[in-house]
Amino acid sequence: MKLSDQLRNELIERALKVRRNAYAPYSKYAVGAALLADSGEIYTGSKVENSAYPVSMCAERSAIFQAVSEGERKFKAIVVATENGGSPCGSCRQVMSEFGLDMLVLMVDEDGKVCRESSVGALLPESFGPGDLNAS
């Protein structure tokens, strides 16, 4: 998936902006995400930690769940903003894979520099998906 420079920059700016809203008092690792739906709409999410660690919510899943709650089902790209350009966790990769292995994933640092560009499929090879449920 190729993004125009303008759209790419807008997604990066939105991910960086929402990263500032992250609630990460325990890890101190703030994350923001900006998700581009096929409709052209952009959805954002920020990391929300909880003292009961397993119930925390990642920025990527937050953005995807918001988009799905608005009726979106197809996505073109997601930008993940962290302090060091970190990669999405396994849970986020699995959720992203549900909506397409070709989705573009840009990982940017706190200055907006793209540290890595990939697809969901490359980040989660041999993923488990809807087709696996029908195999017998």
- Which residues does the annotation mark as catalytic? 60
* Cα angle, residue 56 at apex, residues 50 and 59 outer, rounded to 5°: 125
* Helix H or strand E encompassing 68: helix 59-69
CA–CA separation, 85 and 102 (whole Å): 20
Q: How many CA atoms lie within 13 A of 98 on its CB side?
A: 12
CA–CA separation, 43 and 79 (whole Å): 11
CA–CA separation, 128 and 35 (whole Å): 22
Q: How many CA atoms lie within 13 A of 27 on its CB side?
A: 17
